Chains A and B, each alone.
Chain A
């Protein structure tokens, strides 16, 4: 390596390292705050070093993971405010809604992408039409959706004689998440499926496989990496979705992002500690999934037999 290139490498690493610090700082601060007691949250000058500047505590975590209604230990006295600190219900709601909607969206979107890729469904510009749906800011959709959610039960009563609620229900939000993420799935999967040579499918079909078997045994295994990446991408989108969940589904169905923003009390102001603890807990699945994505991204495609 020439000295000049060496110097450039050092420079590049320095810049990247600094940028990493900038990016990681808020996350680090959040994690640190989650271990601080109420007095240390907003004290000035800031308390930086654990065990020196402040004594780390698990109090925030004990609060958010606390089972049951009232407290029996003095350490948990803050429970007595009006706030619901407990994240179990919201975690359950989030996991159910996000998992179901992401998986359904992936399967539905993949088959739709297959149709568009192989049969030119909807014509040449159809994928772009789908994409324009995503150009709408969610806030534009949220209020009209609220109106639909309010009037659909009446429509159902009138049509089938049975009232079907959408507002503040599991399937209401799940349905909405499926619809809003479908364009992403279609677009991502379209790119992957277009890469699968048609001759592979022709071969499978000549060997006796039906269309569905061909998709299941040949196409989907070949785009498995792509499906994993897409699933995780959509999962993260839904996992952190706030606006629709806030407008269309609380208080009975409550997802983590909505819960996260409820942490204020008239008595104590903003409860940064528990909020930071929840933020940290919510981030963990995303980080874990992120590492899984990385593996798949690196693996990429291995279409050994394609000659172009």
Chain B
């Protein structure tokens, strides 16, 4: 069992910088999820940890060893690939047995281990089949079995669930989390799906443009985003952003935009500066009076338990609110709206960085 440490990893392909200085400490036994849009460098980072790519500069440590120049096979890692990478020419049994045979384990011991692992991931009945005949979920389990069978200290997973249908994906999430708990190994998981990241991770590493944007527990990343990118990446529907101006006269902070004016308590004197206000749909409240602002309901999307309300509020685009499904609303209704003050966040409009972070 061992943790993983990345020290100022840089990777360039020709002129493109895929990874631009990633440093990270992953604790032993942690479930860390790298998340970001495609091309953000998360898979490259994973491949560097695996040793399939070597970093242009920077160091990789696994446990106490500096493994930057080590062959993949010497790193004691297990990896599940996006395509699963099952060997199509041999049976499920031979697939799972492959790493054991490479290690020259005796045939009897191999059979025993393969059967034991197949039982834990419930693929015992598939051992004689070829991978091509398996369903998506079955293939997924076989790939897991093949990785687990050598008991690696660190598991790397590169979007392993992306080929499954939605329902199966949700089931596998739970199962992976359970597997992580029972194995106690370090899991490093790459995905572009923010829901996967939120549900499984102990810690989320948000990447964008080759750089780490934020590292933190799922709820911390969701509720306390470091910048506008992170704020926009998590949450469905996305956070509402309103461009405006913020100034403070010592007694109160005032946010002012053509459509919305907000007064917030306290704060130091602050010269007027352009900012972007961010508020999640669930923190937008509809009111009878017009204390915050007034808006017209332009579209309703019922989700069952809640309803998404798209509001024309006089600013650019629509303001999305998530309200209780019981609320009686119709397109064309005029309503007032307010924001939950303690959940409002501000970003520097130019840099996108969070400001006034408490």
Q: For chain B, which range describes its interface: under 10, 10 to 19, 20 to 34, or 35 or more residues?
A: 20 to 34
- How many residues belonging to A are interface residues under a CB distance threshold of 8 Å? 24
User: Which among B50, B75, B102 has the greatest number of chain A C-beta atoms within 10 A?
Assistant: B102
- The residue of chain A having its C-beta at the shortest distance from the C-beta of B104 within the complex is A208
Q: How far is the CB of B4 from chain A (nearest CB, A)?
A: 15
Measured in the bound complex, the distance between the Cα atoms of B86 and A213 in whole Å is 16
Q: Which residues of B contact A204 (CB under 8 A)?
A: 87, 98
Measured in the bound complex, the distance between the Cα atoms of B63 and A55 in whole Å is 87
Question: Beyond A202-B81, A208-B99, A208-B102, is A305–B86 a contact (Cβ under 8 Å)?
Answer: yes
Which residues 113-150 in A have Cβ within 8 Å of B in the complex? none
- Residues B87 and A218 in contact, CB atoms below 8 Å apart: yes
- The residue of chain B having its C-beta at the shortest distance from the C-beta of A210 within the complex is B73
- The residue of chain B having its C-beta at the shortest distance from the C-beta of A201 within the complex is B85
Interface residue? A304 (CB, 8 A): yes
Measured in the bound complex, the distance between the Cα atoms of B71 and A107 in whole Å is 26
**Contacting A307 at CB < 8 Å: which of B75, B77, B83, B130?**
B83
Secondary structure dominating the interface of B: loop
- Residues A203 and B85 in contact, CB atoms below 8 Å apart: yes
Q: Which residues of A contact B90 (CB under 8 A)?
A: 221
Q: Which residues of B contact A209 (CB under 8 A)?
A: 73, 98, 102
Measured in the bound complex, the distance between the Cα atoms of B86 and A197 in whole Å is 10
- Residues A207 and B150 in contact, CB atoms below 8 Å apart: yes
Measured in the bound complex, the distance between the Cα atoms of B89 and A306 in whole Å is 12
Question: Beyond A205-B72, A207-B150, is A213–B102 a contact (Cβ under 8 Å)?
Answer: yes
- The residue of chain A having its C-beta at the shortest distance from the C-beta of B133 within the complex is A304
- Residues A205 and B130 in contact, CB atoms below 8 Å apart: no
- Residues B131 and A304 in contact, CB atoms below 8 Å apart: yes
Measured in the bound complex, the distance between the Cα atoms of B88 and A200 in whole Å is 9
Q: Which residues of B contact A218 (CB under 8 A)?
A: 87
Q: Which residues of A contact B133 (CB under 8 A)?
A: 304
- Residues A207 and B99 in contact, CB atoms below 8 Å apart: yes
Secondary structure dominating the interface of A: helix
- Residues A305 and B52 in contact, CB atoms below 8 Å apart: no
- The residue of chain B having its C-beta at the shortest distance from the C-beta of A200 within the complex is B85
Q: How far is the CB of A227 from chain B (nearest CB, A)?
A: 13
Q: How far is the CB of B73 from chain A (nearest CB, A)?
A: 4
Measured in the bound complex, the distance between the Cα atoms of B245 and A299 in whole Å is 69
Interface residue? A302 (CB, 8 A): yes
Measured in the bound complex, the distance between the Cα atoms of B75 and A210 in whole Å is 13
- Residues A222 and B89 in contact, CB atoms below 8 Å apart: yes
User: Which among A213, A222, A224, A304 has the greatest number of chain B C-beta atoms within 10 A?
Assistant: A304
Q: Which residues of A contact B103 (CB under 8 A)?
A: 208
Which residues 70-96 in A have Cβ within 8 Å of B in the complex? none
Interface residue? A199 (CB, 8 A): yes
Measured in the bound complex, the distance between the Cα atoms of B73 and A35 in whole Å is 64
- Residues B88 and A207 in contact, CB atoms below 8 Å apart: no
Measured in the bound complex, the distance between the Cα atoms of B89 and A207 in whole Å is 17
- Residues B98 and A206 in contact, CB atoms below 8 Å apart: no
Interface residue? B281 (CB, 8 A): no
Interface residue? A303 (CB, 8 A): yes
Interface residue? B139 (CB, 8 A): yes
Which residues 50-86 in B have Cβ within 8 Å of A in the complex? 50-52, 71-73, 75, 77-79, 81-86
Which residues 291-308 in A have Cβ within 8 Å of B in the complex? 302-307
Q: How far is the CB of B131 from chain A (nearest CB, A)?
A: 5
- The residue of chain A having its C-beta at the shortest distance from the C-beta of B150 within the complex is A207
Question: Beyond A221-B89, A304-B133, A305-B88, is A202–B102 a contact (Cβ under 8 Å)?
Answer: no
- Residues A304 and B102 in contact, CB atoms below 8 Å apart: no
Q: Which residues of B contact A213 (CB under 8 A)?
A: 102
Interface residue? B199 (CB, 8 A): no
Measured in the bound complex, the distance between the Cα atoms of B13 and A179 in whole Å is 36
Q: How far is the CB of B138 from chain A (nearest CB, A)?
A: 11
- The residue of chain B having its C-beta at the shortest distance from the C-beta of A205 within the complex is B72
Measured in the bound complex, the distance between the Cα atoms of B72 and A209 in whole Å is 9
Q: How far is the CB of B89 from chain A (nearest CB, A)?
A: 5
Measured in the bound complex, the distance between the Cα atoms of B146 and A302 in whole Å is 21
- Residues B98 and A207 in contact, CB atoms below 8 Å apart: yes
**Contacting A222 at CB < 8 Å: which of B83, B88, B163?**
B88
- The residue of chain A having its C-beta at the shortest distance from the C-beta of B80 within the complex is A203
Which residues 167-214 in A have Cβ within 8 Å of B in the complex? 197, 199-200, 202-210, 213
User: Which among B79, B90, B130 has the greatest number of chain A C-beta atoms within 10 A?
Assistant: B79
- Residues A304 and B78 in contact, CB atoms below 8 Å apart: no
Question: Beyond A206-B50, A209-B102, is A199–B81 a contact (Cβ under 8 Å)?
Answer: yes
- The residue of chain B having its C-beta at the shortest distance from the C-beta of A222 within the complex is B89
- Residues B83 and A199 in contact, CB atoms below 8 Å apart: yes
Interface residue? B250 (CB, 8 A): no
- Residues A205 and B71 in contact, CB atoms below 8 Å apart: yes
Q: How far is the CB of A120 from chain B (nearest CB, A)?
A: 13
Interface residue? B332 (CB, 8 A): no
27 A–B contact pairs at CB < 8 A?
A197-B83, A199-B83, A202-B79, A202-B85, A203-B81, A203-B85, A204-B87, A205-B71, A205-B73, A206-B50, A206-B51, A206-B73, A206-B75, A207-B73, A207-B98, A207-B99, A213-B102, A217-B98, A218-B87, A222-B88, A222-B89, A302-B88, A304-B131, A305-B139, A306-B88, A307-B83, A307-B163
